[in-house]
Structure 1
Amino acid sequence: MLVVFFTAITIVNAQISEQEKQTLLDIYHEMNGENWKQPWNLEENEAGWHGIQVKEGKVVEINLFNNNLVGIIPESIGKLKNLTHLNLAFNSISGELPEQLVHLSALRVLKIEMNRIKGVLPDSIGQLKSLEEFSAFNNFLTGHIPEDFGKLENLKVLNLSSNNLKGQIPDSLGSLSKLESLGLFENSLEGTIPSEMGKLSNLRELVLANNRLGGAIPVEIGQLASLRVLQIQNNRFDSFKGLKLINVKGLLAFDHDAGADFEFDFDNLNKNKTRMADTKFEDDDDIDD
């Protein structure tokens, strides 16, 4: 009888609200659920559906990485108020990002890379106060990088590479004191690199290659003590002298196309450790904490 009792308790705790269940069904029906690599058995309890984690009757994680999702992200996703991890990467999702995404105040990881998502990034993305990782590379995103990113005080990883973003890099990114990796590779970004980015003391990877950035490299970039990867080639910089103080021995990768005005002591670069920094096609089918 005790076994039956505790089993019943577990089932009750695993049950989610009708609103959250309907949101999951919206995802299933609007994103080609019947043809997923690992489809859901809608007759089973939601806690047993592939990629869904339920805690205390709340949906806290959705991991549908590389699962043949086709269609658009439903607006109702904003109702999953306890969601901390959302991984929809490496699928064929189209349409625009729903504005309702910014209502996921508990969200720590948002991965939508390698899809076909278009449109602009939400200007109010700064509402995602808990966000630590946002990866959206290889989509068709357009418009500017919202200033609101500067409000994401917990952000450690931001990767917007290989989209169609334009305009300038916001000065507000210099406020992201916990940022460790910034990938803006292969967009149409213009203007100069903000000197405010010199405040990013924890920044290890800075990938700005293949844009239309110009002007002089700020001295502050060359003083980033934690920097291990720097890719700035294929831009329109007219001076690289700001990198004179860069810690060469600490670099794992340094790609640039400086001209004769920039003499650099490459003898101090540890070539045994040097690697290509563009690792934006790597992912994992598990969601890490």
Structure 2
Amino acid sequence: MKNLFNYLSLVLFFTCSIMVNAQIPTNEKQFLIDLHKSTGGEKWQNKWNLQADPSSWYGVEIADGHVTGLKLYRNNLKGKIPMGVSKLSHLKTLNLAFNILEGNLPNDFFQLEELTSLRLEMNKLTGALPKDYSQMKHLEELSMFNNLFQGTIPEGIGEMSNLKTLNLSSNYLEGSLPKSIEKLGKLEQLELFGNKLAGSIEVDLGRLVNLRELILSYNQFEGDLPSSMASLTNLEFVQLQGNDFRSLNSLLRMPSSKLAVFDSDDEFLNLKFGTTEASRTRIVDTKFEDTKRN
């Protein structure tokens, strides 16, 4: 009986060990190891012990046997993001902001169907933005400001029907504002400061009924602002300065009860909506502070 008890105890011990070490699928663990290797994991601020279980690795969140969160904000990741991120098919939050990541985004980056938050701001990522966002139906936050992205904002951006925050400020994006943006009916923040975007705005901004922040400053937009913008009742923060708009007269009837900041090149409107010099520092603040450390 004693031998049987010892045998069962041994079996239970090995079974528990296997269960712990098999907490996530092999392919998910392999991507994490690949990311560690390609971004200088030995020099990360918060290092991983690759011999330990992934559940103990800094920034890795696991639920129901899958990686659901990868939060390596300001962790001294330096290098390229490897292919294979789509193996993390249950990922909901991905935060690699404030690192030294470079190179193009992997082709499978926007195949994460469960993702709700993607933050890549303050890196050195290059290349064009992907064109296909059709699998990103759950994404609510896309923040990629202060990188080196070039090319146009693709029409496919309008496929992310649940998007609430779109921040592509301080890149090298050019071309016109894609009309598909007007399909983002849940959008609350649209921030495109400091790019090379140009031409007339053909987007029906009035369809973005939930918009609270609109930052288009320091681009090369021209023509008249869409008159429908005056119907937006939830706007709190507007910055339009540094463009070549012909007229902002369509904003004269814009409701101002919620406006905290309004900046433009039209001093009459700035006075009308109560702009102060203190408010002009807000652009700098939003570029560098992290208010939601996901």
Q: Work out whether the TM-score is over 0.5.
A: yes
Letter in 2 for 1:280: K
Say whether residues 1:241 and 2:246 are aligned partners.
no
Q: How does 1:196-235 map to 2 (within 5 A)?
A: 196-235=204-243
Listed as ranges, the gaps of 5+ residues in structure 2 are 1-8
How far apart, CA to CA, are the structure 2 residues paired with 1:69 and 1:217?
41
Corresponding residue for residue 163 of structure 1: 171
What whole-Å deviation, never above 9, does each CA across 1:142-189 have from its counterpart, x for those lacking one?
000011111111000000000000000011101111100000000000
- Which of 32, 40, 45 is the equivalent residue of 1:32? 40
Larger-Rg structure: 2
How far apart, CA to CA, are the structure 1 residues paired with 2:242 and 2:258?
23
How far apart, CA to CA, are the structure 1 residues paired with 2:100 and 2:70?
17
Say whether residues 1:281 and 2:288 are aligned partners.
yes
How far apart, CA to CA, are the structure 1 residues paired with 2:201 and 2:16?
58
How far apart, CA to CA, are the structure 2 residues paired with 1:201 and 1:285?
24
Q: How does 1:75-90 map to 2 (within 5 A)?
A: 75-90=83-98
Say whether residues 1:135 and 2:143 are aligned partners.
yes
Question: For the structure 1 residues 242 and 43, does the alpha-carbon distance in structure 2 shift closer, same or farther, using more than 3 Å as the test?
Answer: same
TM-score, normalization: structure 2? Answer: 0.89
TM-score, normalization: structure 1? Answer: 0.91
Question: Could you tell me whether the CA contact under 8 Å between 1:249 and 1:269 is conserved in 2?
Answer: no
Corresponding residue for residue 255 of structure 1: 263
What whole-Å deviation, never above 9, does each CA across 1:167-213 have from its counterpart, x for those lacking one?
00011101111100000000000112234121000000000000000
Cα distance, 1:281 vs structure 2: 1.5
Question: Could you tell me whether the CA contact under 8 Å between 2:117 and 2:142 is conserved in 1?
Answer: yes
- Which of 26, 31, 37 is the equivalent residue of 1:18? 26
Cα distance, 1:250 vs structure 2: 1.9
Question: For the structure 1 residues 94 and 190, does the alpha-carbon distance in structure 2 shift closer, same or farther, using more than 3 Å as the test?
Answer: same
Question: For the structure 1 residues 68 and 95, does the alpha-carbon distance in structure 2 shift closer, same or farther, using more than 3 Å as the test?
Answer: same
Question: For the structure 1 residues 43 and 140, does the alpha-carbon distance in structure 2 shift closer, same or farther, using more than 3 Å as the test?
Answer: same
How far apart, CA to CA, are the structure 2 residues paired with 1:235 and 1:83?
39
In the comparison of the two structures, how many residue pairs are matched?
281
Listed as ranges, the gaps of 5+ residues in structure 1 are none
Corresponding residue for residue 59 of structure 2: 51
Letter in 2 for 1:107: L
Question: Could you tell me whether the CA contact under 8 Å between 1:191 and 1:214 is conserved in 2?
Answer: yes
Letter in 1 for 2:290: D
How far apart, CA to CA, are the structure 1 residues paired with 2:78 and 2:270?
50
The answer to which of 67-76 and 118-127 deviates more is 118-127
Two-structure CA RMSD over aligned residues (Å): 2.3
Question: Could you tell me whether the CA contact under 8 Å between 2:263 and 2:270 is conserved in 1?
Answer: no
How far apart, CA to CA, are the structure 2 residues paired with 1:245 and 1:55?
50
Cα distance, 1:118 vs structure 2: 0.3
Question: For the structure 1 residues 144 and 272, does the alpha-carbon distance in structure 2 shift closer, same or farther, using more than 3 Å as the test?
Answer: closer
Identity of aligned residues (%): 42
